[in-house]
A and B are shown apart, each in its own frame.
Chain A
Amino acid sequence: MGLRAEAHQLFDWTIFNPRFLLLKVAHQTGSWFVNSGDQQSQASPCCDTHVRKLLLAACALLLFMTAHCRANDAPQRVLILHAYNYTFPATTAVSEVARRQLIERSSRPIEIEAEFLDLARFPSEAHAARVAQFLHDKYEGRHFDLILSMGFGAIPFLIKYRDQFAPNVPVVFAGGTKDHFAGYKLPNDVTGVFSSFDPDKILELAERLQPNARHLMVIGGSSPNDRSWQRSAREAIERRAPRLEIITRYDFSYDALLAEVSHLPSDTIVLLLTVYSDADGRSLIPQLVATDIAKAASAPVYGPFETFLGSGVVGGYTETYASLGASAADVALEILSGTDPSKIAPHVNPRQAFRVDARAMDRWGLKRTDLPPGTIVQFHEPGLWEQHGLLVVAVASVVLIQSVLLIALLFQRRQLRRTQRSLEESEDRLNFAATSMNIGFWQFDRSTGALWVSEPGRAMFNAAKKGLWTRDSFLAAVQPDDRLLAASALEGNLKVHSRAADVRVVASGGEIRWVSIRSRSNLDEVSASDSVSGAFVDITDQKASETEAELHRQEVAHLMRVSVLGELSGAIAHEVNQPLTAILSNAQAALYLLEQDTPNLAEVQDALRDIVKEDNRAGSVVRRLRGLLKKGEPRAELIDINEMIGSAAALLRSELISRQVRVETELSASRPTVFGDSVQLQQVLLNLIVNAMDAMAATPEKQRRIWICTRETKTGTTEVIVSDSGHGIQPRDSKQLFSPFYTTKDHGLGLGLTICSTIIRKHGGTINLQNGEAGGAIARVSLPSRLMLTAAQ
């Protein structure tokens, strides 16, 4: 009954374990034909014998054909024998990895059966025999290609009973140390992977973590399997004495042991080996024992198995059951693919390492720095850093970046404030300077017509300090005659970058003020800028000064003319006296003739005609004099330059004769004309001729010569050249000739050439003096021609 119950238990577990569901289906599929044959034989007891024979023959043929066809695809069968039952995590962990690897890596279909011998709980020989008989009965007629043995406990069972249920089926074992196998002679077709149990390494780990330990308690169970582990550990344990006080607890009552370990000194190392049963015969599961002892112990507990980790044990030198299962599966697959098992020697699972439970270490205050190099720390509860390191880094980075940005922004803000303050101060200074100098700033947006004007600027136009200003309101403040000019300056021009226009504005008191509109165009077709900016400058005082200066200049010019004419008074008197002499003589002659009895009237008439002619001549001299002596506003008129030269020469005729100076002229036949003030230009000419005469004072009389030439240049200017045969210009004087009050004459004021220069500049021309190649000085006056002026205007 017991065997049936266990078989049923095994069956149920296989059914309801989802991992095995597929295998179960494969198993059922693989069993179908035999069962169908049975069912068929039971279902047709009354059928005809021939028909039955035919059917059986057909079935046999079908079976043969199917078997033949499936020869290469026939599944290979593997029986996994667990030494213990399914509650032992170690064996299930090993078998699970092995099973999965077999299925995944085999080139052929694999059918796996699993059986749990439960030899730990039922170590009796009778149980083993019953299980062997059960397996025999269960798998009778079924061939296995391989047996995979999980846990050392199955090895003695297989050696003894394999032939009973799986004769000559090769065995691959997983687990058990070499020491476990020491007393057994393995058949040639039994090979596998040993577990490596190295108690020395476990104790090395314990000693590194507890360098001050004084006691070593070794705990092991009472089952044969437990004894085997204890034997394996003995040598390593005994090596620790007498440095450590060795306490072994191999035969104990489980409850008493738990009580004892709870009162151990803290400088105790507890080495827990396997405990499959206690002295009372109580069957135990090592992993659960490890959990209980680790929980109860007052000192750290170490063990040789991976399954102990996580139960409170600090750690040990262990392999993973997964790696053991993988290594065993490797060997199994090799054999299933045809390798002779005797050619594969049993070998140790190479994948062992120090493993510790971080939580247990923390519980006992053991330091990670004491761990041997390469120790695998499991169950490490990652700290905030490890758990959310990336997030922490990201957040920290963001915070850092934000902080940097914040600092940068604060710095920038500070800089901005400083700049703003500096700008305000600068603006204040600028405004102060602008106000002091009567300057207002403005900016005009051509697209909107809006006009911004600074306060001083608004004051110039009598506008309110605040409020919107537009082009039209600005122009309304300008004198109507100047509005066109003002609008042109305000609106700017793409071609003219900067311009200025002087306009008149009626001030609040009704007085006229002059404002200069200086504009700078920001108009740019590329940048699409559409604004013009500039400044308003109150130039009323400047205009007044200019007017005053102009009046002074005119006054000085007049005085200079008077002065020149004064110097020439003798010559001029002579020029008047000549016609007067002729007039008087003619008149007296005429009177005398008329007194005669028979007056010669023809002669009288001729004399009178000469009188009229000479009177006109005298009148013309007087007119010229009056023109030169009069004061008044400059008057622009068309001037025949040749005629003006003739007039000047006539006025100076007597003086020239008196000084024995010969005048030669070479006047342009095109009769060049200029637009200007004839009195002023005549003054320039007289000045140049008088200067030339003065320059020739020391020149021998026969060589005194003034040459006056007029010509029109290709550039459209009219040139008047006055050259002499005098001493020329001394180098020291050349740069100062036009400077006020600079004279080379003994009696000169030094204003003649200064005034000449001013007059010519006012006429848009130039004047220069230089030495002639043949000696003497050459004065060259260039004036814009009438046509040029007209075009300019």
Chain B
Amino acid sequence: MVIPSPWIAIVDDDPSVLKALSRLLRTRAINTKTYESADEFIGSLPENTTDGLPECLILDLQMPDMNGLELQRYLDDAGIRIPTIVITAHSESDMRELCTAAGAEAYLLKPLEDTSLLDAINAIRAKTARSTRSP
């Protein structure tokens, strides 16, 4: 049995941002897959299994058709638990609260520092590791 290496999904409607974040994480040996819309990401999810899910979702909040918050809610409604880091240019506190309420692990403002992003990823990894070790 081949255990798939962990990867992180990045969803942002801006291809430049997708490419830059993907490059940043790749230099740190983190695999990424990029999606330009929520629909594209949902379409990539395996059906009826949690296998193959990304270890983390970096999600842009402001996107056409379905924004980041709506995607969070969709996944929640679908019972799909993916730790999510929300990245946005919006600094409004109400939006931060909404995202947190929807299950966001981190809420980072653009332009984001690499350390903040890596810290958030590491925090999720640690949390995930703790949860998998617990009986």
Contact = CB atoms under 8 A, between A and B. Distances in A.
Interface in A343-373: none
A593 B26 CA distance: 10
Interface in B23-81: 23-24, 26-28, 62-65, 67
Contacts of B63: 657
Interface string A592-611: 11000000000100110010
Given A585-B24, A657-B62, A617 B16 contact: yes
Nearest to B92: A570
Given A583-B111, A589-B27, A577 B16 contact: no
Contacts of A570: 89-90
A578 interface: yes
Given A578-B16, A589-B24, A657-B13, A584 B90 contact: no
A579 B110 CA distance: 10
A760 B21 CA distance: 45
A287 interface: no
Contact of B62 (A574, A580, A582, A589): A574
A582 B13 contact: no
Given A582-B19, A657-B62, A577 B110 contact: yes
Contacts of B112: 581, 584-585
Given A657-B62, A660-B64, A593 B20 contact: no
B14 interface: yes
A579 B111 CA distance: 8
Contacts of A578: 14, 16-17, 89, 110
Interface residues of B, number: 25
Interface in B96-124: 110-114
B16 A582 contact: yes
A580 B110 contact: yes
Nearest to B21: A585
A588 B24 contact: yes
Contact of B16 (A588, A589, A593, A614): A614
A585 B64 contact: no
B116 to A, nearest CB: 11
Nearest to A662: B64
Interface string A556-579: 000000000000001001100111
A143 interface: no
Nearest to A575: B89
Interface residues of A, number: 30
B17 A585 contact: yes
Contacts of B20: 581-586, 589, 607, 610, 614
A679 to B, nearest CB: 26
Contacts of B23: 585-586, 589, 603, 606-607, 610
Contact of B111 (A577, A606, A654): A577
A606 to B, nearest CB: 8
A658 B67 CA distance: 8
B112 to A, nearest CB: 6
A588 B89 CA distance: 19
Contacts of A585: 17, 20-21, 23-24, 111-112, 114
Contacts of A577: 89, 110-111
Which of A588, A607, A662: most chain B CB closer than 10 A?
A: A588
Nearest to A592: B27
A586 to B, nearest CB: 5
A583 B111 CA distance: 8
Contacts of B89: 570, 573-574, 577-578, 581, 654
A658 B62 contact: yes
Contacts of A607: 20, 23
A402 to B, nearest CB: 104
Nearest to B87: A581
A607 B90 CA distance: 26
Which of A578, A580, A592, A657: most chain B CB closer than 10 A?
A: A578
B16 A574 contact: no
B55 to A, nearest CB: 19
A613 interface: yes
B77 to A, nearest CB: 18
B13 A581 contact: no
Nearest to B15: A582
A658 to B, nearest CB: 6
B69 to A, nearest CB: 12
Which of A581, A583, A589, A656: most chain B CB closer than 10 A?
A: A581
Contacts of A573: 89
Contacts of A579: 16
Contacts of B67: 657, 660
A581 B117 CA distance: 12
A577 B12 CA distance: 13
Nearest to B23: A589
B21 A592 contact: no
Nearest to A599: B27
Contact of B17 (A581, A606, A662): A581
22 contacts: A570-B90, A578-B14, A578-B89, A578-B110, A579-B16, A581-B112, A582-B16, A583-B20, A583-B111, A585-B17, A585-B112, A586-B24, A588-B113, A589-B23, A589-B114, A606-B23, A607-B23, A610-B23, A617-B16, A657-B64, A658-B62, A660-B65
Given A580-B110, A584-B20, A610-B23, 18 more contacts: A574-B89, A574-B90, A578-B89, A581-B20, A581-B87, A582-B17, A582-B19, A583-B20, A586-B20, A589-B26, A589-B114, A592-B114, A603-B27, A606-B23, A607-B20, A657-B13, A657-B64, A658-B62
Please give me the 6 A-B residue pairs with the lowest Cβ-Cβ distance, nearest first: A585-B20, A577-B89, A574-B89, A582-B20, A588-B114, A581-B110
